Structure 1
Amino acid sequence: MSLVSSYSDWLRRGMRCFDAAVALLVAFALMRMLPGLDHTERLEYPLLIIAGSLLLPACGELIGLYQPWRGRSLYTMLGVYVLSWLTTIVLISLLLVATQSTQTFSRLWMGAASLGVLGTGALIRAALYGYLRRLRAQGHNIKRIVLIGPQSNVSRLEARLGSMPFVGYRVTHRVIGDSVKAVRDEVRSLATVSIFDRDFDEIWLSYPLAQGDRVRQLADELVRVPVSIRYFPDLSDVRLLNHRMAQVAGMYSLDLNYSPLNGPMRLVKACEDRLLGLLLLLAFLPVMLGIAALVRWKMGGPVLFKQQRHGLDGKSFKIYKFRSMALHEPGAGTQQATRGDPRITPLGAFLRRTSLDELPQLYNVLQGRMSLVGPRPHAMDHNEYYKDEIEAYMQRHRVKPGMTGWAQVNGLRGITDNVETMRKRVEYDLFYIDNWSLGLDLKILAMTLTRGFINRQP
């Protein structure tokens, strides 16, 4: 076993112990510090603390919290940690309800201990993540790799790794050549001398898909070497949105428009939407009631604007907003708001500028028809137009539309008065779909608080 593998195993065990220790220490400290907490000579508190401290790393192991951090973003790692923490809280709550023990413990202590564990664990994780990045950038904790492929592909991979020294990969060997026999002979020789003793940790192959036979031959030669073998296909000759290898009916396929938001991850995102959506609805409910009263007073009824939009898989649903325009006869198609639009009332202009008119969509989120984060839903006739103008436009509907999105927090919102503007927005939407993670969702929600509410467009 290499030093890097040994270090990774040690780190995984250490992080599991760390999570358990944080839960123990924080919960016990708050139990001692909170005034008026009757915990003396009672075993219930220590037993609950021990159960929670053991449950947290167990949930983390199931969700993938202790997978190697190398190459993962900080937001993704913290997102998985938050999900592990939420799962632990839910399981403990169910245990307390099942045993009818909810009245035994102080709610103030349970809330403080839960948030204390979350905050402490997240802060130390973020600090350790930054430390490891600096350590790798300085040449420590490095994984040594062998690159095999044509000169252009090897150079492309080296340039990519050179631009990201913090991921901790260093090229130690290269096998380059156009001659099939020469490359295979060199690979066979490398494999023979590297079976039991080697100075590399991974082998990376990079060839076009059309040269699949060569990849298979080289993989057969390398299978004797007990290290990870990765294939980075050169897909320049194939039009792809995003891709992955999958096994279907015992056969391997290359999914050409794969999104991480599939299978179990849809359940994860649904839990995220329901839990955070409910919390946000409760937090904004007084504001929403106040806005509803103002709209009724200033503009009369109805308070809500309702319109059909395309959602997941292109299916229609009814979207809700606070009404921001005076009542008018609808035209043949959807007319976008423009600067100085006489239909927009003064109150409506304020609601649109602050995005407060979008708050009723929290109900759409709780209905399961929208997500907190996702591509913004466009008017149906706009979809009819742009689906023929922008090649991958309808790929936006592979996920639920969102109240906020990657395009919106990057300034692509409001009027789309030409194809190029819409094309740029679609590029950001597809980036979100192709690179979805719980961490990316949390990042977008955080960015929405700082730059996503104020809308300078009509």
Structure 2
Amino acid sequence: MFSRLQRFYTSIKVVADMGMLAVAFALAYVTRFSGIIPVTEGIPPWEDTLISLLMVLVIFPVTFKQSRLYATNRARTNTGEVFEVFKSTITATLILVAATYFARERYSRLTLVIFVAYAFVLVTCSRLAFRYVLSEIRRRGHNLKSILVIGAGELGQRVIDTVEGHRELGFRVTGVLTLRPEKVGQYVSGVRVIGHVDSVNQVLDTQPVDQVIIALPLEDQAHVKRLMEQLALRTVDVRVVPDLYQYITLYGGLEEFGGLPIIRLQGDPMEGWSRVSKRAFDILFSLLAILVTSPLMLATALAVRLTSRGPILYRQERMGMDGRTFPILKFRTMCVDAENCGAMMTSPEDPRRTPIGTFLRKYSLDELPQFFNVLLGDMSLVGPRPERPVFIEEFKRQIPRYHLRHKVKAGITGWAQINGLRGQTSIQKRIEYDLYYIENWSLLMDLKILVRTALGGFLSKNAY
């Protein structure tokens, strides 16, 4: 029921957004070609206009989804909602301009500018109106469903917090039952423990309950069978929350395979179109980066050749997605015999560096060949920085969840790096930032990280 209601509300948002975008497009067209503004180059054929509209109705909703505008987020304020719509509208517009350029579709630039203004205003008003209506419905207590939670422990508390975090769905937890008599009369996340589990029939007879959620820990699972036998004689909806959430690490959840429910404790953060879109993003921008930086790479290669003996490029084994290793490419910044005594971390005054090496590392110029790693598919533009296998086994033992950073491709830059976590900084803190990136990934986030990197994100005091 929860997922069905959430999908229902999401579909309303999608339909409303598409309706507002269509209206904005029509208003922009009328504003531009109705005679208010002089037309000097003629009116585009209606076929081209229709194609542009179809592109708008595809690109904008997809961009909104990537920006998590269709995800439930009660913590987001009205101001935050407006700002997110603004950012997503600008991003979608840039994608639309690129798409129309490569598709060689004819469109009026002024019409596009007018459309963006109308789209932002109409979508924003639609979103704020939707939030206001839901708020009023909730405030007046209409169409509320009551929930009885069985389990007053940590799992029961998590259920209550989750339900309260999605109040727009119209559910309220009205009471909690417990297996611990001493907890009766106490409160769990603001909800009163109204009795013992044995009194479930009495509670259902005396109180209106639409749904029962059983949230008992693993050690109390023996009571579930007896509860299910009692509830089977009732018409109330029954849900069971398995006590496995503490084992869910990344993109876990419930899925169905051939009618068989399966609990996924750990999943792939990028599947299907998410993986395709990220790979397309990497190919497009790495090609552009190689083209733009090729003069700089040639100059750097010449500087490395003239200042020290040895090869220009340095290949080093790193670990990437799914634990697979690959040779990372860098401009050589150390002497050819730098690791004769074994692998070592770099230090601020590392004597192994070449005359030009310190400069290249300070400005991250030694990383430029990694655009070819991205083009080959070994890396991504954005992702956790790859480590050497010789260090990874030690990190796995010391840092919980370290291995989860290998669920995605390693990156040239990342969320940790633009926040100053480079060189000999806290590995623990770096992993926290890497996992935050993986859990909140979107193409818009990748673009944001790349922009911050280009504006100086790699000019860090820890870069050596």
TM-score under structure 2 normalisation?
A: 0.70
Q: How does 1:204-223 map to 2 (within 5 A)?
A: 206-208=215-217, 211=221, 213=225
In the other structure, the counterpart of 2:73 is: 71
1:183 equivalent in structure 2: 200
Counterpart of 2:151? Answer: 150
Q: Tell me: CA distance 1:18–1:283, structure 2 relative to 1, closer, same or farther (3 Å).
A: farther
2:424 aligned with 1:424, yes or no? no
Question: Please, what TM-score do these two structures have when normalized by structure 1?
Answer: 0.71
- In the TM superposition, residue 431 of structure 1 has moved relative to its aligned partner by 3.6
Shift of 1:208: 3.5
Choose which of 398, 404, 413 in structure 2 pairs with 1:404: 413
Larger RCO (alpha carbons 8 Å, 6+ apart): 1
Task: Tell me the residue number matched to 1:395.
Answer: 404
Hey, what's the Cα distance between the residues in 2 that align with 1:173 and 1:326? 66
Q: Return the alpha-carbon distance in structure 2 between the equivalents of residues 343 and 176 of structure 1.
A: 65
* Correspondence for 2:249: 241
> Residue 190 of structure 2 corresponds to which residue in structure 1?
none
CA distance in 2, matches of 1:394, 1:312: 10
Give the secondary structure class of the aligned counterpart of 1:424.
helix
| Aligned residue number for residue 438 of structure 2 | 433
Match runs of 1:3-82 below 5 Å = 11-26=13-28, 38-40=41-43, 43-44=44-45, 46-58=46-58, 65=65, 68-71=70-73
Aligned residues of 2:329 and 2:370 also touching (Cα < 8 A): yes
Residue 297 of structure 1 and its aligned partner are, at CA, apart by: 4.6
* 1:314 CA drift (Å): 1.8
Query: Is 1:291 matched with 2:308?
Result: no
Distance 1:368 1:283, change over 3 A: same
Counterpart Cα distance in 2 of 1:187 and 1:86: 56
- CA separation in 1, counterparts of 2:389 and 2:315? 13
Q: Distance in 2 between matches of 1:122 and 1:83?
A: 12
Report matched runs for 1:58-457 at 5 Å. 58=58, 65=65, 68-71=70-73, 102=104, 105=106, 109=108, 121=119, 131=128, 140=136, 142=138, 146-147=146-147, 148-153=149-154, 154-156=156-158, 172-178=172-178, 179-183=196-200, 186-187=203-204, 206-208=215-217, 211=221, 213=225, 233-235=242-244, 238-242=246-250, 243-248=252-257, 250-299=259-308, 302-345=311-354, 347-415=356-424, 421-449=426-454, 452-457=457-462
What's the offset of the Cα at 1:284? 3.6
| CA drift at 1:396 | 2.4
Q: Which runs of 5+ in 2 are unaligned?
A: 179-195
Q: 1:325 to 1:392 in 2, by over 3 A?
A: same
Once the two structures are TM-superposed, the CA of residue 456 in structure 1 deviates from its matched residue by 1.4
1:449 offset after TM fit, Å?
4.5
Q: Cα gap change, 1:428/1:10 in structure 2, threshold over 3 Å: closer, same or farther?
A: closer
1: CA distance, partners of 2:236 / 2:292: 59
The 2-side partners of 1:218 and 1:374 are apart by 51
In structure 2, the CA distance between the partners of 1:284 and 1:91, relative to structure 1 (3 Å rule), is closer
C-alpha distance 247-22 of structure 1, shift in aligned 2 (>3 A) = same
| AA in 1 matched with 2:48 | L
Paired position in structure 2 for 1:198: none
Q: Shift in Å at residue 176 of structure 1?
A: 0.7
Shift of 1:16: 0.7
1:403 deviates by 1.3
Residues 436, 123 of structure 1: CA spacing in aligned structure 2 closer, same or farther, 3 A cutoff?
farther
Over 3 Å counting, the alpha-carbon distance change for 1:85 and 1:216 in structure 2 is farther
8 Å Cα contact 1:311/1:400 also seen in 2: yes
In structure 2, distance between residues paired with 1:350 and 1:92: 41
Aligned to 2:263, what secondary structure does the other structure show? strand
Query: What's the secondary structure of 1:267's corresponding residue?
Result: helix
Contact kept, 8 Å, 1:307 with 1:318, in 2: the verdict is yes
Q: 2:315 touches 2:327 (CA, 8 Å); kept in 1?
A: yes
CA distance in 2, matches of 1:207, 1:272: 45
3-state SS, counterpart of residue 430 of structure 1: helix
In 2, distance between residues paired with 1:250 and 1:322? 53
Instruction: Indicate how the Cα distance of structure 1 residues 23 and 316 shifts in structure 2: closer, same or farther if over 3 A, else same.
Output: farther
**Aligned twin of 1:199:** none
Gaps of 5+ in 1: 97-101, 195-201
Change (3 A) 1:8 1:313: closer
Identical pairs, percent:
28
Give the secondary-structure state (helix, strand or coil) at the position aligned to 1:335.
Answer: coil
2: CA distance, partners of 1:288 / 1:34: 48
Structure 1 distance, partners of 2:99, 2:63, is: 14
Q: CA deviation at 1:393?
A: 3.0
Q: Equivalent residue of 1:425, what SS?
A: helix
Q: 1:58 to 1:394 in 2, by over 3 A?
A: closer
Separation of aligned partners in 2, 1:34 and 1:299: 64
